[in-house]
């Protein structure tokens, strides 16, 4: 089958690889109908995450059709429409029972094989899903493959960030980073009732989309974002900040914008090793700091009804679609943010 495989830094190639097979009675094989390139795929692409084996199939966001199931699968059958969180989970351990499926003791991330151990990714025609009964989620027929794909990661992650921020209707909320996750966090903040939402980014096309969601756009390359937001809050600072980038500078900005007693919720995949503020500074400001990987198995199920009844519209986040055959170009396109590219999906 065809798949996009990692060949080295900034080098992803379309290649022929073996089709996945059932290797355990709890496995399922899925035909990938829609996949997407995620910002965290770029960490691998640029070599910021090391250790992945050359030849690993890339990608972790997808929706698809069940092709084959193992003997122990009871919830799904060939032909079913499904989505999967970006990590598989057992559904039985302490963390799964706490809805913290991202920290399942048997968790594995699609698209990460290291020293021969791990899961192949979803930028391919087919993918094997271990622990399929507890990992997969039925995709209602009313929802598109693309909507399912977005629910599997970025919609869930954005909502997770807004929920961690404990938004109240009187809050001033700031979202730093208006990529796909940031836009989803803004949508969630609106749904959760934030009174005022500021969106910070450097790209006007992203800020324009944030404004359409109900946020006040702030281009940090053109104005003093800290001064503007502090002024809006009588110089107290924001009640909550959702950091959706994962850089040291964005985390520093988040801390500076936050009022004493506020909540900093970080969902960006962190690309640095030390926080840009000290424990003493956190203590002196009485902040609550929350961070971590989204348990998208839990949140996708929670959000499906909101997408079904049109409370949450996900469709405007996808700006470009490529075929899997053109996947190499899709990676370059996404990496270089060509043509006001926000979110790229791949179809078979």
323-326: long-range contacts at Cβ-Cβ below 8 A with a sequence spacing of 24 or more? 323/347, 323/348, 324/2, 324/4, 324/14, 324/35, 324/123, 324/124, 324/125, 324/348, 325/2, 325/14
Query: How far is Cα 86 from Cα 23, in angstroms, rounded to an integer?
Result: 20
Mean pLDDT of 284-313: 96
Query: pLDDT value at position 118?
Result: 95
pLDDT in tens, 134-151: 999 999 999 999 999 999
Give the bridge partners for 291, in sequence order.
266
CA 302 remoteness from chain centre? 15
pLDDT at 343 over 80: yes
Query: pLDDT value at position 49?
Result: 66
Query: pLDDT value at position 317?
Result: 94
Q: What percent of the chain has pLDDT above 70?
A: 99
Average pLDDT of every residue of the chain: 94
Mean pLDDT of 150-163: 96
The answer to whether the predicted template modeling score (pTM) of the entire model surpasses 0.85 is yes
Query: pLDDT value at position 39?
Result: 86
Confidence of residue 95 (pLDDT cuts 50, 70, 90): very high
Q: Hey, CA dihedral for 317, 319, 322, 328, is it positive or negative? A: negative
pLDDT at 336 over 80: yes
Query: How far is Cα 216 from Cα 334, in angstroms, rounded to an integer?
Result: 26
pLDDT in tens, 28-65: 999 999 999 998 888 888 876 668 999 999 999 999 99
Q: What percent of the chain has pLDDT above 90?
A: 87
Strands 238-243, 137-138: pairing kind: unpaired
Query: How far is Cα 29 from Cα 66, in angstroms, rounded to an integer?
Result: 6
Helical ranges in 286-324 per DSSP H: 296-308
Domains of the chain: 2-153+295-347 (3.90.180.10), 159-291 (3.40.50.720)
């Amino acid at each position: 089958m065809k798949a996009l495989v990692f060949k080295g830094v900034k080098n992803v190639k379309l290649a022929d690889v073996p089709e996945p097979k059932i290797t355990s009675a709890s496995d399922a094989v899925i035909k990938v109908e829609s996949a997407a390139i995620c910002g965290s795929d770029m960490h691998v692409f640029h070599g910021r995450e090391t250790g992945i084996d050359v030849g690993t199939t890339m990608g972790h966001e997808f929706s698809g059709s069940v092709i084959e199931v193992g003997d122990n699968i009871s919830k799904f059958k060939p032909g079913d429409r499904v989505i999967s969180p970006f990590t598989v989970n057992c559904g039985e351990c302490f963390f799964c029972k706490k809805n913290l499926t991202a920290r399942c003791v048997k968790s594995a991330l699609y698209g990460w094989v290291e020293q021969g151990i791990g899961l192949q990714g979803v930028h391919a025609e087919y993918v094997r899903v271990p622990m399929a009964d507890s990992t997969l989620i039925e995709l209602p027929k009313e929802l598109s493959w693309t909507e399912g794909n977005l629910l599997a990661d970025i919609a869930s992650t954005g909502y997770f960030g807004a929920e961690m921020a404990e938004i109240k209707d009187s809050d001033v909320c700031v979202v730093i980073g208006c990529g796909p996750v940031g836009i989803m966090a803004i949508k969630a903040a609106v749904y959760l009732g934030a009174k005022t939402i500021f969106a910070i980014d450097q790209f006007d096309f992203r800020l324009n989309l944030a404004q359409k969601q109900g946020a006040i756009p702030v281009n940090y390359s053109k104005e003093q974002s800290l001064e503007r937001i502090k002024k809006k809050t009588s110089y107290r600072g924001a009640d909550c900040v959702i950091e959706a980038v994962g850089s040291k500078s964005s985390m520093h900005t988040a801390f500076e914008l936050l009022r004493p007693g506020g909540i900093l919720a970080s969902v960006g995949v962190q690309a640095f090793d030390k926080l840009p503020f000290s424990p003493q500074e956190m203590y002196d400001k009485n902040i609550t700091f929350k961070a971590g990987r989204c348990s998208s198995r839990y949140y996708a199920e929670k959000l499906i009804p909101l997408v079904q009844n049109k409370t949450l519209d996900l469709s405007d986040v996808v700006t470009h679609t490529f075929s899997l055959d053109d996947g190499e170009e899709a990676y370059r396109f996404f990496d270089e943010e060509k043509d006001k590219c926000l979110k790229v999906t791949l179809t078979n």
